[in-house]
Structure 1
């Protein structure tokens, strides 16, 4: 299997920067062992004007058969005929074997990490990618349908004839693929990683549940809105219905979130604290007042941190973490040894990673934090085993019929010992001078509850799942309308804890 990646440049911005982005030096020919053979990386040309990196995957047919325990895996996981072990074109055309080699050899490039040239990793490059032989179940039209919407200016697909000596035999199911355009290298590599096995419509290994996470990571920024999203998901996951459904639902949530920009903007801070009347105040006095003003968002975070410290939590889930402000605050306190931010929006997680500077963290600090993509209305085994979970300004962004699903996923399945929930108090809205009567604080809020409504919901949740609950005002507690933010702190009841320990 063979693939080349080429780019052009100038003396000021040399094309050989490609070596930094791929983390492979242009002056070296390197070999890497894989489970099915050896992957070679070399540079046929490397100058300031043009640089080409080639990935050659040399398949070991014996290892391929032995890895399959003597049974080749055909389309859909069915065993091939015994002869296929000896006469098989699959090892010699780009497929999931090459995709796995890409992820192994260019692991850092697939994450978009390049400490030496971070600005080059973040910007589009003039790229030309050539794959001499790609199996295309669906023909040239499908190849164009898959790569065309992804920003490539040229998608050149040429069928490979069965035998040039006998043209009457027609074309094979293979095509020669050339892609040209200006894209970030990380985006190009992720597209290839997903779409090569999709074109082949088969994988050389068993598709396990973790393939959903691999697909979502590699499809970040392009798959959720792709017109052929369903076909890509179905083929990538080898038509495993349960996995395809899970991936489809999560991608749809990502698409909706990105369409509305939810998670990237500062959710629930569309209305800020009432500003002091400074019209007749001097500049010095204005400055002094501004310095003393603490935003509602800051007060909310401090109230959450206090609740978590009082609970003695060492590991915390920030569910619906958005841009990562709370995650950042949690990491500043060494009492929180593990902090995980969860959000449905991949874009929000990208912003959070930049805020936290995850690429420049020390190894010890990096072990304390994780950012994962997920929907809060589905049960997720990754969320089990944490001391505490926070739902800060999250529930009001869900349609009311979906609240029971979130309740079950968090309180019924994940079951952290402490759950902190904050939400706006609609009664306080009359105090916002800039908020028209009858309007909610943020355009995406599906509802905003009174104090009585919030307490009724929280009391019912606590009773159903064996938690005790207490209520904490956040912000100025107005004697008539209450605080701007209401907070509930759920803790597993002592009797329930004993039952769980006995069951364990």
Structure 2
């Protein structure tokens, strides 16, 4: 497999084209050879002049070396030698790309940081790459990122064109972009173009996708397709989608008008924290805690001596643990606990708490699962106080781009009347009183952007 990266600077301010070596951290006069678990990668410059410079990455896959990575007991003795992994070209090329240009992907350059920070004219040529899908798949993936995409289908045999085409194409991308951004696009999208990977997928892949997709993947029109083909397994795709949801919610809230300087997201969490303090609670549940933003607010209040966060996303819980510094501060482990679980099922670990918060949680559930959530929170766990927030669907009409729902992961959004009817029915069924409050900007006709209910259990 071969990938070449060419630049032809059009501005004197960018310096000679050979300065590309400073950004890639590879000297044009040297050849770099690196051993990989599946073969060998070589970086060299077939041309290097002030007007035009090309860096080439050549990847050679060794099927025997690849077979040696198999672990004992994983299958039949011949299984490592008889599989389709050598044909996962995009996956191998992406791994080699990260290994060869890992520093460049961070956007750092010791000698020419200004060049690393500048979009420059770049052309990527890949003589042969797998493209399994519709003919316009390369354009669907790279076109929205600003590249001009050229492809040429490769026949099975040039002498017999009637045999048809292989699932491989010659690919050329041209655009003006930062080198680091281009490398991240390639790292994510080459395996997506291929649709296969040569190694076992786990939750680490979600972190890779989110890290290298930050700043562009959330707005990509084929975001869901990219996640599905990059991660393949439903559980991993769901974890990535949950983070997309966080990104979209923050974008939607930034779009909404706010009379105060405080962002809606922060105002909502502050109001919930204040309500929890006012309840007199000392043991609090954050149900659907995500990355622990509410928990971090509560942790600074001595009143709360036991805090428990529950979330269905294991990755979100890992991020919460990091941001709460639980590893660095072992004294917090007795005060703060993070639990992996779902509100759709009874959980005895949630019993006996003074208060629970569900901040922007219920709208992410299918409507038919609300009954189970209500029973498990109000009927089984039975906290003395429950604080619940959810969007007001009526307010959506005030956005610059009106929408039916705030983002794709919402399964429903309620009007003020619908929310009040549901909350009052829950309160009556499980022995609670309920009060309603407005959160954020309030429109004279459509009401508040967010609605909050405070339930108190009747003794």
Establish whether TM, by shorter chain, passes 0.5.
Answer: yes
Which secondary structure does the structure 2 equivalent of 1:95 belong to? helix
Tell me the residue number matched to 1:7.
7
Tell me the residue number matched to 1:133.
128
Identify the match of residue 270 of structure 1 among 241, 251, 257.
257
Taking the aligned partners of 1:47 and 1:410, their CA distance within structure 2 comes to 69
| 1:86-115 deviations in Å (ceiling 9; x for gaps) | 9x99748833122233344445655x5548
Identify the match of residue 205 of structure 1 among 199, 217, 222.
199
Taking the aligned partners of 1:7 and 1:57, their CA distance within structure 2 comes to 21
Per the alignment, do residues 190 and 441 of structure 1 end up closer, same or farther by CA in structure 2, a change over 3 Å counting? same
Per the alignment, do residues 224 and 461 of structure 1 end up closer, same or farther by CA in structure 2, a change over 3 Å counting? farther
Alignment of 1:26 with 2:21, yes or no, is no
For 1:99-498, what aligned pairs fall within 5 Å after superposition? Answer: 99-107=94-102, 110=105, 113-114=107-108, 124-137=119-132, 142-144=137-139, 146-157=141-152, 159=154, 162=157, 174-208=168-202, 211=205, 214-215=208-209, 221-222=216-217, 226=221, 230=225, 235-237=229-231, 242=234, 246=238, 262-266=249-253, 270=257, 272=259, 301-306=269-274, 330=297, 391-392=358-359, 394=360, 401=367, 404=370, 407=373, 421-422=388-389, 443=399, 446-448=414-416, 456=424, 459=427
CA displacement at 1:214 relative to structure 2: 4.7
Taking the aligned partners of 2:242 and 2:420, their CA distance within structure 1 comes to 33
CA displacement at 1:402 relative to structure 2: 7.4
Taking the aligned partners of 1:329 and 1:237, their CA distance within structure 2 comes to 31
**RMSD (Å) for aligned C-alpha atoms:** 6.5
CA displacement at 1:170 relative to structure 2: 8.1
Identify the match of residue 85 of structure 1 among 67, 81, 101.
81
Per the alignment, do residues 489 and 103 of structure 1 end up closer, same or farther by CA in structure 2, a change over 3 Å counting? farther
Which secondary structure does the structure 1 equivalent of 2:122 belong to? strand
Taking the aligned partners of 1:120 and 1:318, their CA distance within structure 2 comes to 43
Identify the match of residue 68 of structure 1 among 67, 70, 74.
70
Residue pair 1:32, 1:40 contacting (<8 A) in 2 also: yes
Per the alignment, do residues 158 and 448 of structure 1 end up closer, same or farther by CA in structure 2, a change over 3 Å counting? same
CA displacement at 1:64 relative to structure 2: 0.7
CA displacement at 1:52 relative to structure 2: 3.3
Residue pair 2:151, 2:172 contacting (<8 A) in 1 also: yes
Taking the aligned partners of 1:72 and 1:133, their CA distance within structure 2 comes to 32
Structure 1: gaps spanning 5 or more residues = 74-78, 274-292, 350-357, 369-375, 427-437, 476-483, 493-504
Taking the aligned partners of 1:94 and 1:178, their CA distance within structure 2 comes to 16
The answer to which of 443-452 and 33-42 deviates more is 443-452
Taking the aligned partners of 2:175 and 2:207, their CA distance within structure 1 comes to 28
Residue pair 2:253, 2:265 contacting (<8 A) in 1 also: no
Taking the aligned partners of 1:246 and 1:491, their CA distance within structure 2 comes to 33
Per the alignment, do residues 473 and 247 of structure 1 end up closer, same or farther by CA in structure 2, a change over 3 Å counting? closer
The answer to which of 64-73 and 31-40 deviates more is 64-73
The answer to which of 128-137 and 199-208 deviates more is 199-208
Structure 2 length normalisation: TM-score? 0.56
CA displacement at 1:131 relative to structure 2: 1.6
The answer to which of 176-185 and 36-45 deviates more is 36-45
Structure 2: gaps spanning 5 or more residues = 317-321, 333-340, 400-405, 407-412, 440-447
Which secondary structure does the structure 1 equivalent of 2:68 belong to? helix
Taking the aligned partners of 1:295 and 1:200, their CA distance within structure 2 comes to 41
Per the alignment, do residues 189 and 439 of structure 1 end up closer, same or farther by CA in structure 2, a change over 3 Å counting? closer
Taking the aligned partners of 1:39 and 1:47, their CA distance within structure 2 comes to 23
Structure 1 length normalisation: TM-score? 0.53
Taking the aligned partners of 2:20 and 2:209, their CA distance within structure 1 comes to 25
Taking the aligned partners of 1:328 and 1:35, their CA distance within structure 2 comes to 42
Residue pair 2:3, 2:58 contacting (<8 A) in 1 also: yes
Taking the aligned partners of 1:50 and 1:491, their CA distance within structure 2 comes to 71
Taking the aligned partners of 1:114 and 1:339, their CA distance within structure 2 comes to 39
Identify the match of residue 37 of structure 1 among 36, 39, 43.
39
Taking the aligned partners of 2:46 and 2:299, their CA distance within structure 1 comes to 48
